[in-house]
Amino acid sequence: MYRRISLLFLLMTAIAAVAQTPSIVRLDPRFDQLVSKDAKFELIADGLLWAEGPVWDRQGQYLLFSDTRTNTAYKWTAKEGKTVFLKPSGYTGTAEFTGSEPGSNGLTFDAEHNLVLCQHGDRRVARLEKNGKFTTLADRYNGKRLNSPNDLVYKSNGDLYFTDPPYGLPKTFDDPGRELPYAGVYRLGKDGKVTLLADENKAPNGIAFSRDEKTLYVADTVRILWTAYPVLADGTVGQGRIFFDASKTSKGVPGAPDGLKVDVQGNIWSAAPGGIFVIAPDGTLLGRFEMGAPTANCAWGEDGSTLFITSNHNVYRIRLNTKGAGW
């Protein structure tokens, strides 16, 4: 189904996982109100090739996350640890997938508690039905196939917003099968219509709303910055502004802007160069989690005060003094 991974790469993966040692960097007094001085990272899962897309299931009380490179979604509970939840998770075709990331990426739940996935290999946003089959929610815009949907977030009215960089295509930006000349940010309305919201990002990735849903945050992994878009009354967005730019200060640091979430105070917790950035609503960098490896995403879970972090081959959790927005 996808290219075999060499033993050498697996060995390098194991060495890198051992070397990954998270730490906390405090830059602003407000950070201490969010992260206690005795906060510690707990490694809860390892052995992944590229951990992504974490989401907490409030009904089942477990964590789901993707391994984009093995076409697998995993389930984690404190009692059972990591188990396979869904395979294949992102590429369901029969032909060999020649790229490196066929699997699911971003995961979320809709209002009916159905799992909704960004599926790299199938180049679509899909819903997992109770019978185990997938229903396509969005795979085209203006008749052209999407690149490879990456991350997604629901607005409270039921509209789904998602990003579409080409990272899931076999040759990414230069893939001959690419049909759209840009990497867009889209809205999937309740009526099934897909609307292009923004196309200026080189590689839009993480996406989240502010607490009041008046601002849509989008991370760009190529430009190494985050954009804030005003959300208009009709659900589209206005002209974006650069919310935080790390392009000059993060040169040579592994990782890039990626998945992000917002807490009850409006702070942005985002995968970033070096690990996780915690950015205040006013654009101040309050502190960082230095994860020791490229980091993909994060998600609130348990009682809302636990942050789960997917970082390279590992998944961590850390208890905080804040909660995720909506908890």
162 contact partners, CB below 8 Å, separation of at least 6:
106, 118, 125, 138, 149, 150, 151, 152, 153, 185, 186, 188, 207
In order of 5, 20, 174, 291, 303, the CA distances from 41 in angstroms are 29, 12, 38, 10, 17
What digits encode the pLDDT tens for the residues 249-302? 998 999 999 999 999 999 999 999 999 999 999 999 999 999 999 999 999 999
pTM for the model: 0.94
Q: Judge whether 259 and 270 are in contact, CB under 8 Å.
A: yes
CA distance 125 to 18: 34
pLDDT of residue 115: 98
**What ranges do the domains of the chain cover?**
7-319
Find, among 169, 272, 170, the residue nearest to 183 by Cα.
169
What digits encode the pLDDT tens for the residues 88-117? 999 999 999 999 999 999 999 999 999 999
DSSP 152-208: EEE-TTS-EEEEE-STTSTTGGG-TT---SS-EEEEE-TTS-EEEEE---SSEEEEE
Domain 7-319 has CATH 2.120.10.30: yes
CA distance 138 to 263: 28
Q: What is the mean pLDDT of residues 199-225?
A: 98
